[in-house]
Amino acid sequence: MSFGTSIDEETSFALLDRFVERGGVWIDTADCYSFWASDTGHGGASEEVLGRWFAARRGARERVRLSTKVGAEPLWPGSWPEHRAGLSPRAIHEAVEGSLRRLGVDTIDLLWLHQEDRAVPIEETVEGLASLTSSGVVRRVGASNHPAWRVERARAHAATIGSMPLDALQLNSTYLRLRPGTLPPGVVHPFGVLSDEQRDFAEANGLETWAYTPLLSGAYDNPGKSIPEVYDHPGTSRRLAALASVAAEHDAQQGQIVLAWLLAHGIRPILGGSKLVQLDSALDSAAIELTADELALLDDAV
């Protein structure tokens, strides 16, 4: 997300190189990254850095899978979230053209609808995606920050017209649970946080679930960052105590246990580290095997 804005190009390349060296496969970006941190007020810097990295590293495009997102680019600087590109077929096609150009690639392995656009019937959005998946420019489609019912409606329409259904959800998810009625800092999407219903929907229908901001931007382990106030309730003390105890057992960072816990529940965390040491620590967490007792301790702390 931050490549080319708060993370400079040299560091971005080093992180990408290490990720691939260590067997990393999926790279997640968006056409709008990171408009809020850019001088222009527009996104595109992250995709451009990736494009230059693909050009500089022979064979890299074939080694990885690439996901990007459409729909959240501001129409003009400062216009997000009220005025954004949205999910009309025309907006989707224009956005994909821009992403392919910045990335310097011919195909996108997974295209995410970045956030809901209730001004456009979801059936029209599905029809906009259909021509991209049937031509092979887009290999898979997923939905970020959408409620389960809209995703199901989109999948039903895809079945009716014989196009590829949305098969993945990308939502905010971590170990701590929010106070009801709140949203994490920076999240404006009313259905952006993985709910029990979305999880059940994904499991029952075989959709992948990807988790964004799993490390609370570093707040589990960085003493300079605090756990956001929206997690302030009695269950959080119990969850943090369980996390500390399991982390001590494994001589691991708390964030590593959060990632291992998500993986144990079949949820794919998306990493956003700014330093090699953070990336290494996150990748190491994939090897942490939580015992049944540890999982029960973590799950039951509510």
Footprint on this chain of ligand NAP (rule: CB under 6 A): 1, 28, 144-145, 170, 212-218, 221-222, 253, 255, 270-274, 278, 281-282
Nearer to ligand NAP, 1 or 92 (CB): 1
Query: What's the closest the beta carbon of residue 68 comes to ligand NAP, in angstroms?
Result: 10
Spatial neighbors of 101 by CB under 8 A, at least 6 apart, are: none
Nearer to ligand NAP, 132 or 176 (CB): 176
Nearer to ligand NAP, 195 or 274 (CB): 274
d(C-alpha 294, C-alpha 246), whole Å:
7
Query: What's the closest the beta carbon of residue 286 comes to ligand NAP, in angstroms?
Result: 14
User: What's the helix, strand, coil split of the chain in %, to 5?
Assistant: 45, 15, 40
Nearer to ligand NAP, 198 or 253 (CB): 253
Q: 211, 230, 120: which is closest to 173 by C-alpha?
A: 211
CB nearest ligand NAP: which residue?
272
Q: How many CA atoms lie within 13 A of 168 on its CB side?
A: 21
d(C-alpha 51, C-alpha 100), whole Å:
9
Query: What's the closest the beta carbon of residue 188 comes to ligand NAP, in angstroms?
Result: 9
Query: What's the closest the beta carbon of residue 281 comes to ligand NAP, in angstroms?
Result: 4
Nearer to ligand NAP, 133 or 281 (CB): 281
Q: 95, 147, 153: which is closest to 124 by C-alpha?
A: 153
Query: What's the closest the beta carbon of residue 1 comes to ligand NAP, in angstroms?
Result: 3
Q: 275, 176, 282: which is closest to 229 by C-alpha?
A: 176
